[in-house]
């Protein structure tokens, strides 16, 4: 299955999965940096499809990605966003990251936060905009933390 077929398959498969929730929604799809981006519009099913702490959303991603791997698809990494949940969350994390960075710049003290992988990526990206700030992650699995520090330390 080539890249275009992988993208179409993933969108159709997600639409079929959503239909089990009685959510007959049209999924839009794109591809960025070898990641299939699937966007589900807002509906009365948002809270059900996102789930507590986005667990249902992550599970949907896992299922679609696993099916693509089993189909020997050219692309298997999937990012699903429901009602712009992830986009809005990313914006909130970016604002928080800038506040943490300013705190580190003012006090000189490092800041350590427990964040999931997606949120850590956002913080690393934001921090890359500051020449006097460095970030690094330490730990394993759910215990992994990000540290924001001055580059000179």
Per domain, the residue ranges of the chain are 3-83, 88-150
Name, in order, each residue with C-beta under 8 angstroms of 34's C-beta and a sequence gap of 6 or more.
Answer: 75, 77
Residue 75 has a pLDDT of 81
Token output for 135: 């970030």
How distant is the alpha carbon of residue 8 from its chain centre?
A: 21
Q: Does residue 23 register a pLDDT over 70?
A: yes
What is the per-residue pLDDT across 72-93, written as a single tens digit (0 to 9) for each? 888 888 999 999 999 999 999 9
Query: What's the mean pLDDT in 137-144?
Result: 87
pLDDT of residue 124: 94
Render the burial of 21-38: b for 16+ CB within 10 Å, e for the rest.
Answer: eebebebebeeeeeebbb
The per-residue pLDDT of the chain, averaged, comes to 90
Mean pLDDT of 98-126: 91
End-to-end CA distance of the chain: 49
pLDDT of residue 153: 61
Percent of the residues in the chain that have a pLDDT greater than 90, as a whole number: 58
88-150: what fold?
Ribosomal Protein S8; Chain: A, domain 1 (3.30.1370)
CA-CA distances (angstroms) from residue 141 to 61, 73, 114, 115?
Answer: 18, 27, 11, 11
Q: Which of 121, 126, 141, 132 is nearest to 149 (CA)?
A: 132
Q: What is the CATH number of domain 3-83?
A: 3.30.300.20
Give residue-wise pLDDT tens across range 24-67: 889 999 988 888 999 999 888 888 899 998 899 999 999 999 99
Can you give the pTM of this predicted structure? 0.74
What mean pLDDT comes out for the span 130-141?
90
Strand partners, 28: 39
123, pLDDT greater than 70: yes
């Amino acid at each position: 299955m080539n890249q275009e077929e992988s993208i179409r398959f993933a969108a159709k498969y997600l639409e079929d999965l959503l239909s089990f929730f009685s959510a007959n929604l049209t999924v839009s799809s794109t591809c960025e940096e070898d990641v299939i981006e699937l966007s589900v519009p807002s509906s009365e099913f948002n809270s059900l499809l996102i789930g507590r702490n986005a667990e249902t959303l992550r599970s949907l991603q896992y299922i679609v990605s696993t099916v693509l791997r089993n189909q020997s698809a050219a692309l298997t990494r999937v990012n699903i966003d429901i009602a712009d949940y992830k986009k809005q969350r990313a914006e909130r994390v970016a604002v928080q990251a800038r506040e943490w960075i300013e705190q580190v710049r003012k006090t000189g003290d490092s800041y350590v936060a427990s964040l999931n992988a997606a949120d850590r990526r956002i913080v690393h990206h934001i921090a890359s905009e500051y020449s006097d700030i460095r970030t690094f992650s330490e730990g394993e699995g759910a215990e992994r933390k990000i540290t924001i520090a001055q580059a000179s330390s």
